[in-house]
């Protein structure tokens, strides 16, 4: 693979653009969940997300990406990622809802995701949510210069193991910034892949996807919707992180 770029160091100027897009994506990630209610169709959620994205001054980074038809991804219950908002899919009480938001703004890209329940989670769902999010924060702690991608992957895998959750392998985190998907890949599992060493200016979208049952997934006939093979629930949390000379900076942080 001589000559192939394995990672991108962003310039200070580009980082400013990425920072603004990331804040826009985080704003929508924060605004949307309280507006999502049982009885709404997932298409209505997608439309609403489109309005919130437009209000940031940006546009969807997903719409049209490899032909993707939605503004955001909305994945319910056993759906893992890349669910498309549909007028005939009506949200129910206790549904587990993952939203994945990508915003393009002034040539920067922001990408982040969260998962929540429409109601009170049962014990298994609560464990799934708690440890998928915890895996993300454990991973962010390892996003420091001098570490390798593998250190991030192993923090995620370790957290899943503790909580007896299945780790999705077919989809991984990624570099992000001026394109939605930049090198390197950021797997949520450990393999012989060590990946590049982390350096200041790298921006990583870290996104654990955990299942209550099997790690195995399948894709619907719509060619997008990914779901767990055993029909058990799945959760997904994602942040974009800038590697610095000091502590990792979560670009999609949004206090409210």
Q: Which of Co ion, ligand MF3, none does residue 68 bind to, with CB < 5 to 8 Å depending on kind?
A: ligand MF3
Q: Rule CB under 5 A: is residue 111 a binding residue for Co ion?
A: yes
Q: Rule CB under 5 A: is residue 182 a binding residue for Co ion?
A: no
- Min CB(42)–ligand MF3 separation in Å: 15
Q: What angle do CA 161, 184, 150 make, to 5 degrees?
A: 35
The answer to whether the beta carbons of residues 6 and 234 sit under 8 Å apart is no
Q: Rule CB under 6 A: is residue 193 a binding residue for ligand MF3?
A: no
Residue pointed to by tokens 């949307």 = 32
Beta-bridge partner residues of 3: none
In the complex with ligand MF3, the residue whose CB is nearer, 33 or 121, is 33
Contact with ligand MF3 (CB under 6 A) among 52, 73, 96, 140: 73
Site for ligand MF3 in 88-127 (CB under 6 A): 100, 102, 111
Q: What angle do CA 98, 122, 118 make, to 5 degrees?
A: 40
Beta-bridge partner residues of 113: 100, 238
- Min CB(219)–ligand MF3 separation in Å: 12
Under DSSP, the state recorded for 198 is P
In the complex with Co ion, the residue whose CB is nearer, 44 or 75, is 75
Residue pointed to by tokens 């653009």 = 17
Cα Dmax for the chain: 53
Question: Segment contacting ligand MF3 (CB under 6 A): 31-39, 62-70, 136-144, 247-255?
Answer: 62-70
Q: 54 Cβ partners below 8 Å, 6+ apart?
A: none
Residues that bind ligand MF3 (CB under 6 A): 62, 65-66, 68, 73, 82, 100, 102, 111, 174, 205
Residues that bind Co ion (CB under 5 A): 111, 205
């Amino acid at each position: 693979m001589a000559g192939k770029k394995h990672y991108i160091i962003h310039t200070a100027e580009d980082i400013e653009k990425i920072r603004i897009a990331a804040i826009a994506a985080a704003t929508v990630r924060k605004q949307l969940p309280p507006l999502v209610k049982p009885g709404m169709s997932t298409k209505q959620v997608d439309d609403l997300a489109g309005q919130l994205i437009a209000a940031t001054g940006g546009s969807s980074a997903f719409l049209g990406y490899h032909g993707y038809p939605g503004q955001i991804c909305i994945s319910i219950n056993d759906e893992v990622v890349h669910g498309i908002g549909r007028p005939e899919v009506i949200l129910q009480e206790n549904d587990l809802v993952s939203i994945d938001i990508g915003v393009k703004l002034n040539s920067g890209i922001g990408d982040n995701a969260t998962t929540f329940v429409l109601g009170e989670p049962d014990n298994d769902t609560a464990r799934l949510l708690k440890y998928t999010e915890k895996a993300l924060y454990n991973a962010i702690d390892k996003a420091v210069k001098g570490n390798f991608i593998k250190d991030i992957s192993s923090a995620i895998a370790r957290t899943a193991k503790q909580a007896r959750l299945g780790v999705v392998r077919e989809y991984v985190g990624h570099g992000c910034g001026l394109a939605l998907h930049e090198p390197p890949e950021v797997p949520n599992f450990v393999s012989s892949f060590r990946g590049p060493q982390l350096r200041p200016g790298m921006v990583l979208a870290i996104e654990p996807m955990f299942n209550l049952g099997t790690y195995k997934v399948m894709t619907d006939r719509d060619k997008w919707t990914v779901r767990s093979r055993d029909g058990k629930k799945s959760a997904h949390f994602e942040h974009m992180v800038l590697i610095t000379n000091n502590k990792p900076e979560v670009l999609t942080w949004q206090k409210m």
